[in-house]
Amino acid sequence: MRAAGTPAMGPDASAIVVGSGIVGLATACRLAETGFRVTVLDAGGGPAEGSSRGNAGQLLFDRVSAMGSAGFLRSLPASMADRSQGLDIWGLGLPGRWPWSIRFLSQCTGAAWRRNTAAMLELAHLSKASFHGFIERHPLAFDWRCPGKLIVHPTEEALAAAARTAEFQARFGGRHVVLSSEEARAREPALQGGTRPIAGAIHLPDAEVGDCRAFCEGLAGILRERLGGRLQFGTRVERVRHAGGRAVAVETSQGEIGADLFVIATGRAAGTLLPRGAVVRKPIVGVRGVSLTYPAGDVAPDLSVTDAGGKFVVMRMGDRVRVSGFASFTERLEVAPEEIALLRAKAQALMPEAARYDEAPEAWAGLRPQTPDDLPMIGRAGFENLFVNAGHGSLGWTFAFGSAERLLDAAGLAQ
């Protein structure tokens, strides 16, 4: 059914998607499946060169949670005093980030956390169905597994709080089990011999893992080879040109390109291309994360494991092990040697033989596009044929296909 205010598109309608990360490519593929001639534009040299390149590789469709909460505020002093946790919020003091910070603080209440988490779970469940439907129609290799996940906690108090959170999330679906320390170590043998404190764990049996970069490369291939789409790299979009209440073209470093429908999916940079009066517009800041990818060790983990006390993740992708951590409100992308040493030391203390820690890792840093309420901008953006799909934070892969479905619905294209 066509949404009110959305002009009917002809059988040979064209669409431009700006951005070739996981959100942009999922959106492009779904648009192509509805019959659009899709062109993806990106300033980089290939797909997934930004936040999608080296992320934690988790697909947590049943147990996502908003960052903003009263508990987050209470934990800030201890987290900031302990630099080993990798949380750095000093960048929020810059004047340009004050609008984001003020709106984020308004979300740090129990009521806001419950509202935002419920909305995130609804989007994640939609995404799970769309994601699996797509890979059934278009099989591709990306080291996908469904091994489940452990979230280990250092104290009984932290474990009890996590269990209460999981009970709230369970109202919306999914499964979890609370495990003792001994049960957690038995469930994941890679934890044996570790020295990190573990009072117990939340076990999520339905959690999935994979290589997001490989998945994006696979989507790019499907779009080009099976769905008739185009990908044009090295093309920086500078402005959306409009006339008569419609977007008519994008002005790029390679000239002007017109289309019938436009989608901005450029993560934290999306705001630079949106009209100021767009209803869905929100401030976005980049939250820097770091990942280290090692060859797998003698006892590589089966499950994805989050150490909640240390704020890092260890998971296996094929014959590699990825360690991910840090949440810094900064624009810096280089990975410092001391950051590598800190993340490696924490992972080795948790899982001593999970990876070949003596080898130099593939180090990556990216800026996750975070909105104040953790909910992405999805919908019409000022003009009747201009849409935005951006601001997914650390859950871009988890939300990507659900966000694409929401965008199709907003454009009156839901099937």
**How many angstroms separate the CA atoms of 396 and 393, rounded?**
6
What is the distance between the alpha carbons of residues 251 and 273, in angstroms, rounded to a whole number? 11
Of 305, 365, 369, 15, whose CA–CA distance to 150 is shortest?
305
In a domain, 92, yes or no: yes
Structural domain span for residue 157: 68-110+142-207+284-370
The pLDDT > 70 percentage for the chain reads 97
Asked if residue 408 is part of any domain, the answer here is no
More confident residue, 10 or 304: 304
For residue 97, tell me if it sits in a domain.
yes
Report d(CA 287, CA 327) in Å as an integer: 6
The pLDDT tens digits for 143-174 are 999 999 999 999 999 999 999 999 999 999 99
Q: How far apart are CA 100 and CA 92, in angstroms?
A: 8
Distant-in-sequence, close-in-space partners of 63: CB < 8 Å, separation ≥ 6: 166, 169, 174, 176, 202, 204, 207
The CATH number covering residue 148 comes to 3.30.9.10
118-135 confidence digits (pLDDT tens):
999 999 999 999 999 999
d(CA 228, CA 354): 42
pLDDT band for position 1 (cuts 50, 70, 90): very low
pLDDT in tens, 283-322: 999 999 999 999 999 999 999 999 999 999 999 999 999 9
Domain-embedded: residue 357: yes
At 281 the pLDDT is 84
Tell me, yes or no, whether 274 lies in a domain.
no
CB atoms within 10 A of CB 81: 8
d(CA 63, CA 168): 10
Q: Token match 């977007």: residue? A: 247
Q: CB count, 10 Å around CB of 78? A: 10
Predicted local confidence at residue 267, as pLDDT:
94
Q: How far is residue 189 from each of residues 63, 184, 302, 395, measured CA to CA in Å? A: 23, 9, 8, 27
User: Look-up: residue for tokens 């999306």?
Assistant: 270
> How many domains does the chain fold into?
1
- Residue 178's CB is within 10 A of a number of other CB atoms, namely 17
| β 312-317/320-328 pair status | antiparallel
- Domain annotation covers residue 414: no
pLDDT of residue 4: 43
> Does residue 73 lie in a domain region?
yes
Residue at 147 is within a domain = yes
